[in-house]
Chains A and B, each alone.
Chain A
């Protein structure tokens, strides 16, 4: 059973997977009630545009994706705050635009589709120890920031108007939140891929919300579902020889479905 840990790449995959499994619902718990799920998806696609740009300009792909998605996050939040980002059209624009730009630039850079594939659907099994050296500090930074601002984040999420009226710096908090979302998405890129990351952010929280009776319960349950999804996905992909990213997402979907049935809600 435990021979899977005999392999270095599997041990690294479990460490990287754990980092993302903790991060995703920490962002998701605020993202889901804000109805930002599509914004998460949009940022993932834009990050892919950033990857294409990096390949074209021969920059470091991850750092470029991070920079581009942070810039995009700032832009999206600004559009949202001024009420100009309403409706599916704006999101569709980001989704398809990012993907199209990424693919075209990568093609112009004469890169093989295999390399793009790893960014779109993850490549957790190719994770290197030095990747974890930047992933873990960045993830700890995101976790610490959320922890310090958790009350402000929750107030702005649940009742933005009242929070604003009583002097909570809601605009700053919203900005901080999209930044954290952008960082989380790029961090998760190598694990589940840019096309699937929003599933890992949204599904464990959506599953938890069906059972939880308090904020604390919802978060802890989402964390549990997320960790189980990642571990099940990794083990499943090892024994079934399936791609890990999609297997993780299918595990999360399975848990979400199972919990829906138990909760008696479709």
Chain B
């Protein structure tokens, strides 16, 4: 697929939980090589949008296309990687080494007729190298810092060799330095490997340097375009009633990230 071709196409997508509308008439297209940041307040529908694209929630037929195919027909799920909020991953404290965790990323690429092979081992090593935690591979995942664990989750999804990466507030409960490094890593993957990235965050400031496009979502899509043209009035409307915005270095601060489960 050449650069510039649409990886995700969403047209007139509405979704509600029962009678409660969460998304209203969303239309957008993500091109190959894009790094899209989806921002908005908690409860604004960001996670719901991601889950619809991932097929974890039932999208109305005909509204979403992945790699040019209608979502209902799309079978090559392994092309889409997903990193969910860290706090929710592996909550059982089950013992596992970093390498065992990252190896799980290969599962979608395996089948009964194609068991584990040297290509899979290579993909796991490459993923560990890409997130710079190769030396930690024998360590128990629970001995790692929050930032290192986050890299392990990222390595797991990279081992899957996805073409599109969807991340849902991946740095919740990670310290600011580790967060900046994590976003730097994503930027590198996007630039050097041409990985298409969609990053959900409720904080524009932390992702503004990396993303090439911004979607401002609060039930409706208030803005979709380059981050430089995302004006203060839009951001004020986006976070209306949530918190007074103050002016930073050309960027408006969004509400402070809560450490809870973002269901937005």
Contact = CB atoms under 8 A, between A and B. Distances in A.
B80 A214 contact: no
Interface string A130-171: 000000000000000000100110110111011111111000
Contact of A215 (B75, B95, B106): B95
B82 interface: yes
B80 to A, nearest CB: 7
Contacts, number: 83
Contact of B77 (A148, A151, A165, A212): A165
A161 B84 contact: yes
A103 B81 CA distance: 52
A168 B104 CA distance: 11
A200 interface: no
B104 A158 contact: yes
Given A213-B95, A214-B96, A168 B90 contact: no
How many B residues are at the interface, by size bracket?
35 or more
Interface in A147-203: 148, 151-152, 154-155, 157-159, 161-168
A33 B112 contact: no
Contacts of A164: 55-56
A162 B84 contact: yes
B100 interface: yes
A29 B162 CA distance: 29
Given A165-B77, A165-B80, A33 B94 contact: yes
Contacts of B90: 158-159
Given A159-B90, A165-B77, A167-B78, A154 B104 contact: yes
Interface residues of A, number: 26
Contacts of A216: 100
Q: Do most interface residues of chain B lie in helix, strand or loop, or is the interface mixed?
A: mixed
Which of B78, B94, B156 has the most chain A CB within a 10 Å cutoff?
B94
A166 B95 contact: no
A215 B156 CA distance: 16
B192 interface: no
A213 B140 contact: yes
Given A161-B56, A161-B84, A209-B95, A168 B100 contact: no
A157 B100 CA distance: 13
B257 interface: no
A33 B160 CA distance: 24
B234 interface: no
A217 interface: yes
B110 interface: yes
Given A158-B90, A158-B96, A168 B56 contact: no
25 contacts: A33-B94, A148-B112, A151-B106, A151-B107, A151-B116, A155-B104, A155-B107, A158-B96, A161-B88, A162-B82, A162-B83, A162-B156, A164-B56, A166-B77, A166-B78, A166-B81, A166-B107, A166-B108, A166-B160, A166-B162, A168-B108, A209-B94, A212-B95, A216-B100, A217-B95
Interface of A: 33, 35, 148, 151-152, 154-155, 157-159, 161-168, 209, 212-218
Q: Which 9 A-B pairs have the closest CB atoms?
A: A167-B77, A165-B82, A166-B108, A165-B54, A33-B92, A213-B140, A212-B95, A214-B97, A33-B94
Given A158-B92, A167-B76, A216-B100, 18 more contacts: A33-B94, A35-B92, A151-B107, A151-B116, A161-B88, A164-B55, A165-B55, A165-B56, A165-B80, A166-B107, A166-B157, A167-B75, A167-B77, A168-B107, A168-B108, A213-B140, A215-B95, A215-B100
